[in-house]
Amino acid sequence: MEIGNQSVDYRPLILVAEDDDSNFKLIKAIIGKRCEIMWAKNGEEIVSLFHENRDKTDAILMDIKMPIMNGLEATRLIREEGGTLPIIMQTAYAFSADRENAIKSGASEVLVKPITLQALRDCLSSFLPRLKW
């Protein structure tokens, strides 16, 4: 696939768990040109997407506060099933206890909202070194 004059052959699949439309649109704007994205609006949906796409998924962006099942519980379930891919949690809460709870549930990294372009791209690149912006 060609984008401008640059050949792009690596498009990782990122599952995004985000219940807020505007937050999802921001994430899509930041990473959508270089990544395939599948969207879940709650924790149950992201666990289902993980089951359906387990072998193709490169990383998960997981909001912590979501309806039906929160991101901490969804992450625990994915980890219990042997999911080892990077799970990057997003939270509006910047308290150290929130970060600790996320890491204990199995998060690989925690980003504080509002998510910035540079923070999200840097974080994904650290887990997916073949991803070039």
28-86 pLDDT, tens digit per residue, is 999 999 999 999 999 999 999 999 999 999 999 999 999 999 999 999 999 999 889 99
CA–CA distance from 89 to each of 2, 19, 66, 68, 100 (Å)?
31, 13, 12, 17, 11
Instruction: Give the domain range for residue 9.
Output: 2-127
pTM over 0.85: yes
Residue 132 inside a domain? The answer is: no
Domain CATH code at residue 46: 3.40.50.2300
CB 16 within 8 A of CB 39: yes
Q: How many domains does the chain have?
A: 1
Residue 10 inside a domain? The answer is: yes
Residue 112 inside a domain? The answer is: yes
Residue 133 inside a domain? The answer is: no
Average pLDDT, integer, range 80-109:
91
